[in-house]
Amino acid sequence: MFSAFMLHAWIVATLVAVAAGCVGFFVVARRAAFAAHALPLGAFPGAAAASLMGVNEFWGLAGFAVLGVLAIGQLQRAGRREVASALWLASALALGVLLLGLSGRYAQSVYGLLFGDLLGIDTRQMAVVAGFSGLTVALVAWVARPLLLDSLSSELASAAGARAAALEFVFLGILALSTAIAVPVVGALLVFSLMVGPASAARAFTDRPWRSLAVAVGICLATVWSAIALAYVTNWPVGFFVGALSALCYAAGRLRGGTVALAQVA
Amino acid sequence: MDSICTWGHMGGFWCNQPVRVALAVGGGAALVCAVVGLSTVMRRQAFAGHALADVSGAGGSASYLLGINPLFGFLGMAAAAAGVMEWAQVREARERDLLTGVVLGAGLGLAALLLYLDMTVRNVSGAAITVLFGSMFTIPPSIVPVALIVAAAALGASALIFRPLLVSTLSIDLARAQGARVRTIARIHAMALALAVSLAAMTVGAILSTALLIGPAAAALQVARRPASALALAVLIGLAATWGGIALAYQSYYWTPGRGWPVSFFIVMLIVCAYLLASAVARRRSGSSATAPLSGCQEH
Amino acid sequence: MNAGEAAVALDRVAVTLGERPVLREVSFRLEAEQFCALIGTNGSGKTTLLRAILGFIPVQAGRIDLPAGAIGYVPQKITLDPGLPLRARDVIALGLDGARFGTRLPSKARAVRVQEMLRAVGAEEFAEQRVGTLSGGQQQRVLLAHALVRRPKLLLLDEPLANLDVGSTAEIVALLRRLSHEFGAAVLLSAHDMNPLLPVVDRIVYLANGCAVSGKADEVVRTEVLSRLYGYHVDVLRVHGRVVVIAAGARTESRDALERDPVHTITVP
Ligand SMILES: Nc1ncnc2c1ncn2[C@@H]1O[C@H](COP(=O)(O)OP(=O)(O)OP(=O)(O)O)[C@@H](O)[C@H]1O
Ligand SMILES: [Mg+2]
């Protein structure tokens, strides 16, 4: 399980889990689950576009991630947030189908993009993921406080001198870049599950924001490590275990915080 | 019908059997999605609407494994996911999005597992693609009767709960004070959503299902002032985009010889255009109504 | 419903939210056509009490008897979504039959009732506008009309006057008084400013420390009683034949006594 062959998988998964935990804390605080799903998945036409133009896949992904941030940010102003994410995702995927058709690439790559393949990681990919995970954590640390205030109330953040619109773009940008780059390596599904489940569970264990972030990272690591171990033993896809385990985390969090939450609901 | 076949090069369009089927099936999906989508967008459940489409794909792969009618796989999975979301009793819209995300993650994980099992146990490898991107040109006739029943059920349920759903969308407290059974209504709506979405995902694919569910309704909500006109407008936009998209895709065989452009691309682009247009209209309208009283004041 | 029969009666009602006992022992009764002001400091449980009467919050102990007819409710905090395609007119129409399943063709009689209600609350001017885009006070009028249009037997209004301007406040209070007689409805209305209500109010229920004290308006609205209840010096003055309540704001000893033992400190004649 810890052979050289698996070593890259362990390292990459750990890096992705740390970044996903940090970003996930804000995804939950800002309730941006849909954007967290739409941005990485919506970057996939980038890969097809890159191969059509004969440039490195990385530029295509980054380009579409940025495009997604701009599109969602702009569409959000016109109406509802979740509508913006839905429209961007649908357009990006439709464009992806078109580009795949034109470039003659088989749609099978979509499968890899969704579910990833932790076993085929080479050193170069590992370095890219490491770089972007580090960048993500640094960016999160940089904007953490205004972003948290803005998540509570954008009016409060504006009153304190932060520019709410800019913060939203920064947040979406962090979300897009940190995930889109990791997606071809580990799959959109894995990143997304790691961002939503553990961070929502973490809320039930502490009332302090930064401690909650730390708990989220901890749960992410536990989830991804157990998932790899289970996948190794059963030979089933890692994504299945990550999805299932993070759903379990969420359920555990709900049960623990349940008494409070249900009293408020009633 | 046959006389139409002589109208220029679009003549072939009307006489092409797969095109006729696509027009009917796509139109049906657009109609059901627009109706159910309107309340879905109003209730801020767009993410749930999209997630159910993705998750229902897992049911599609399960049906290959079990050897059952794929429509039942799609329906069963979507209904199960919608049931979990409703059963977990989340009132606040924002919290609901997190739960939806968790269900989506788990559902996609399950899809990954089932696709893997499809490949290893049943040796079906194309399943992934069929499930992710349904095609309205390859609908087996065997599912048409069931599909019609499902569509009718979704439309009927939407009509039944139309008014109480409006009030409880406005405010749950107001609806309860009035004696509406808000939980029953929410459950019926969730089931209507599951039916509509899985039907659309099965027939036109997960991408188009999201676009048809959210886009026309969101565009209509931008400009309509009353519920009835929002409904009419959403249906109109959905149908126009679907049929327009099919016509454009047919045309596109002449643009890049030998290879047509995908229908879903055109439909989604038309829907996005409709949404942008509607936002522009709404902005202009609110701009003009905001300046009117001001200019009135200056005259005094 | 003839006078003397209770429209709503609470008997030793207790409500706990989370861990905290918000209402401990609340008893009072209101008769049809009675107009009752519910007062108390912030956090004393006025909203909780109204929601418990509506059945939104389960009660731990005690019983609540409700009238046979419809109940009208205007919540304290409500944010109406500007994205909904509902005009003020539509919201009021939904007050009539919004709880029913199925659809119905538009009818002349209903349109007339809605129009009457729009006029009554002074909402004709913005009847065609989306409710979500109305101002706070305008929304409050629409919600009031939504509650009134079904001719309720009990009206529960949570600070319905909070966002209204001075002139509208008097108008709305007079409207509520008139409709309460017309529908035979009991009105339970929470408020912080008693003055606009004094001309019409029959009873006052005061909430403190989870207990309720109720009395006839002219018995409670007195300098010594109000001062004791609020724990601040409160003057009740007569100006131009009208009663006016003015709070001076200094904390008195009776306030501390009240917090120690509310039930025995408060005894309204
Ligand atoms: N969901 C809840 N869970 C726990 N405690 C709650 C909850 N809602 C309210 N409370 C507490 O119950 C008490 C009564 O609240 P309530 O809203 O009924 O006060 P109120 O009298 O309406 O105040 P205001 O005048 O400010 O409207 C408060 O102390 C509040 O903190
Ligand atoms: Mg209150």
Q: Which residues of A19-38 are buried (b: 16+ CB within 10 A; e: fewer)?
A: bbbbbbbbbbbbbbbbbbbb
Helix/strand/coil for B280: helix
Q: Residues of A with CB below 8 A from C15's CB?
A: none
Helix A238-265 to helix A209-234 angle, to the nearest 10 degrees?
140
Helix/strand/coil for C16: strand
Q: What is the pTM of this model?
A: 0.82
> Is the CB of C99 less than 8 angstroms away from the CB of B221?
no
Of A116 and C253, the structure prediction assigns the larger pLDDT to: A116
Which one of A99, A108, A189 makes the best mutation probe of the B interface by having the most chain B beta carbons within 10 Å?
A189
Chain C residue closest in CA terms to B157: C102
- How sure is the predictor about A266, in pLDDT bands with cuts at 50, 70 and 90? very low
- How sure is the predictor about A264, in pLDDT bands with cuts at 50, 70 and 90? very low
Domain boundaries in chain B? 28-285
Residue pLDDT, tens place only, B1-13? 445 555 455 556 6
Q: Among C55, C98, C150, select the one facing B175 at the smallest CB separation.
A: C98
Q: Does B230 touch chain C (CB under 8 A)?
A: yes
Best residue for ligand 1 mutational test, from A259, A260, A262, A264 (most atoms within 8 Å of Cβ): A264
Of B288 and C100, the structure prediction assigns the larger pLDDT to: C100
> Is the CB of A246 less than 8 angstroms away from the CB of B97?
no
C-alpha pair distances (Å), B170 with each of B16, B193, C134, C172: 46, 19, 14, 23
The pLDDT of residue B298 is 39
Mean pLDDT for B97-106 is 89
- How sure is the predictor about B295, in pLDDT bands with cuts at 50, 70 and 90? very low
**Rg value, chain A, Cα:** 18
Q: Which residues of A142-172 are buried (b: 16+ CB within 10 A; e: fewer)?
A: ebbebbbbbbeebeebeeeebeeeebbebbb
Question: How close, in Å, is residue A248 to chain B by CA atoms?
Answer: 9
Sequence-distant (≥ 6) Cβ neighbours of residue C162 within 8 angstroms: C76, C140, C191, C192
Residues with C-beta less than 6 Å from any ligand 1 atom:
A 263-264; C 17-18, 20, 22, 40, 42-48, 76
Q: Which of A87-96, B78-87, B117-126 has the lowest mean pLDDT?
A: B117-126
CATH number of B28-285: 1.10.3470.10
Residue pLDDT, tens place only, B152-184? 999 999 999 999 999 999 888 889 988 888 889
Of B172 and B290, the structure prediction assigns the larger pLDDT to: B172
**Cα separation, B147 vs C263, whole angstroms:** 66
The protein residue whose alpha carbon is closest to atom 6 in ligand 1 is C17
Sequence-distant (≥ 6) Cβ neighbours of residue C1 within 8 angstroms: C7, C32, C67, C68, C153, C184
**Is residue A13's pLDDT more than 50?**
yes
**Is residue A152's pLDDT more than 50?**
yes
> Is the CB of A263 less than 8 angstroms away from the CB of C18?
yes
The pLDDT of residue C255 is 54
Strand order across the C35-39 sheet:
C61-65, C6-17, C20-31, C211-216, C203-208, C35-39, C186-190, C154-158, C71-74
Sequence-distant (≥ 6) Cβ neighbours of residue A49 within 8 angstroms: A60, A63, A64, A99
**Cα separation, B226 vs B233, whole angstroms:** 11
The CA angle A8-A12-A18, to the nearest 5 degrees, is: 150
Mean pLDDT in chain B?
Answer: 82
Q: Residues of B with CB below 8 A from C86's CB?
A: 166, 170, 226-227
Q: Which of the residue ranges A101-115, B87-101, B125-139, C238-252 has the most confident prediction, judged by mean pLDDT?
A: B87-101
Q: Where are the alpha helices (DSSP H) in B69-126?
A: 70-87, 93-117
- How sure is the predictor about B213, in pLDDT bands with cuts at 50, 70 and 90? very high
- How sure is the predictor about A56, in pLDDT bands with cuts at 50, 70 and 90? confident
> Is the CB of A86 less than 8 angstroms away from the CB of B129?
no
Q: Does C68 touch chain B (CB under 8 A)?
A: no
Mean pLDDT in chain C?
Answer: 82
Residues 44-63 of C with CB under 8 A from A: 56-58
- How sure is the predictor about B287, in pLDDT bands with cuts at 50, 70 and 90? low
The pLDDT of residue A60 is 85
> Is the CB of A97 less than 8 angstroms away from the CB of B207?
yes
The pLDDT of residue C132 is 85
Q: Which of the residue ranges B209-218, B257-266, C103-112, C191-200 has the most confident prediction, judged by mean pLDDT?
A: B209-218
B256 DSSP 8-state letter: T
Q: How far is the CA of B175 from the centre of ligand 1 (A)?
A: 21
Mean pLDDT for B284-288 is 72
The pLDDT of residue A260 is 41
C45 DSSP 8-state letter: S
Question: How close, in Å, is residue B6 to chain A by CA atoms?
Answer: 30
Q: Among C54, C87, C102, select the one facing B159 at the smallest CB separation.
A: C102
Q: Residues of A with CB below 8 A from B110's CB?
A: 240, 243-244
Query: What domains does chain A contain, in order, with CATH numbers?
Result: 4-189 (1.10.3470.10)
Ligand 1 atom nearest C44 alpha carbon = 21
Q: Does B256 touch chain A (CB under 8 A)?
A: yes
The pLDDT of residue A106 is 55
Q: Among A79, A80, A266, select the one facing C57 at the smallest CB separation.
A: A266
Q: What is the 3-state secondary structure (H, E, C) of chain A?
A: CCCHHHHHHHHHHHHHHHHHHHHHHHHHHCCCHHHHHHHHHHCHHHHHHHHHHCCCHHHHHHHHHHHHHHHHHHHHHHCCHHHHHHHHHHHHHHHHHHHHHHHCCCCHHHHHHHHCCHHHCCHHHHHHHHHHHHHHHHHHHHHHHHHHHHHHCHHHHHHCCCCHHHHHHHHHHHHHHHHHHHHHHHCHHHHHHHHHHHHHHHCCCCCCHHHHHHHHHHHHHHHHHHHHHHHHHHCCCHHHHHHHHHHHHHHHHHHHHHHHHHHHHC
Mean pLDDT for A158-173 is 79
**Is residue C118's pLDDT more than 60?**
yes
| Other Cβ atoms within 10 Å of A260 Cβ, number | 12
Place of tokens 């954590």: A137
**Is residue B150's pLDDT more than 80?**
yes
Q: Name the CATH topology of C6-207.
A: Rossmann fold (3.40.50)
Q: Among A85, A97, A111, select the one facing B262 at the smallest CB separation.
A: A97
Residues 121-150 of B with CB under 8 A from A: 128-129, 132-133
> Is the CB of C83 less than 8 angstroms away from the CB of A266?
no
The pLDDT of residue A159 is 65
Mean pLDDT for B142-159 is 87
The protein residue whose alpha carbon is closest to atom 16 in ligand 1 is C45
Chain A residue closest in CA terms to B103: A247
Q: Does A264 touch chain C (CB under 8 A)?
A: yes
**Is residue C1's pLDDT more than 60?**
no
Element (H, E) at B64: helix B46-66
Mean pLDDT for C137-151 is 90
Residues of chain C with CATH 3.40.50.300: 6-207
Q: How far is the CA of A221 from the centre of ligand 2 (A)?
A: 44
> Is the CB of A108 less than 8 angstroms away from the CB of B110?
no
Residue pLDDT, tens place only, C202-223? 998 988 888 888 888 777 777 7
Mean pLDDT for A123-152 is 85
- How sure is the predictor about B125, in pLDDT bands with cuts at 50, 70 and 90? low
> Is the CB of B170 less than 8 angstroms away from the CB of C87?
no
Residue pLDDT, tens place only, A179-230? 777 777 777 778 888 899 999 898 888 777 788 899 999 999 999 999 989 9
Q: Which of A148-162, A202-216, B210-224 has the lowest mean pLDDT?
A: A148-162
Chains touching B (at least 3 CB pairs under 8 A) are: A, C
Per the rule left: phi > 0, alpha: psi between -120 and 50, beta: everything else, C231 is left
Mean pLDDT for B244-256 is 83
The pLDDT of residue B215 is 94
Q: Residues of A with CB below 8 A from B133's CB?
A: 97, 107
Of B51 and A50, the structure prediction assigns the larger pLDDT to: B51
Question: How close, in Å, is residue C19 to chain A by CA atoms?
Answer: 9
The protein residue whose alpha carbon is closest to atom 31 in ligand 1 is C43
ipTM value: 0.87
Q: Among C71, C90, C100, select the one facing B177 at the smallest CB separation.
A: C71
The pLDDT of residue B290 is 44
Best residue for ligand 1 mutational test, from C13, C15, C16, C22 (most atoms within 8 Å of Cβ): C22
- How sure is the predictor about B299, in pLDDT bands with cuts at 50, 70 and 90? very low
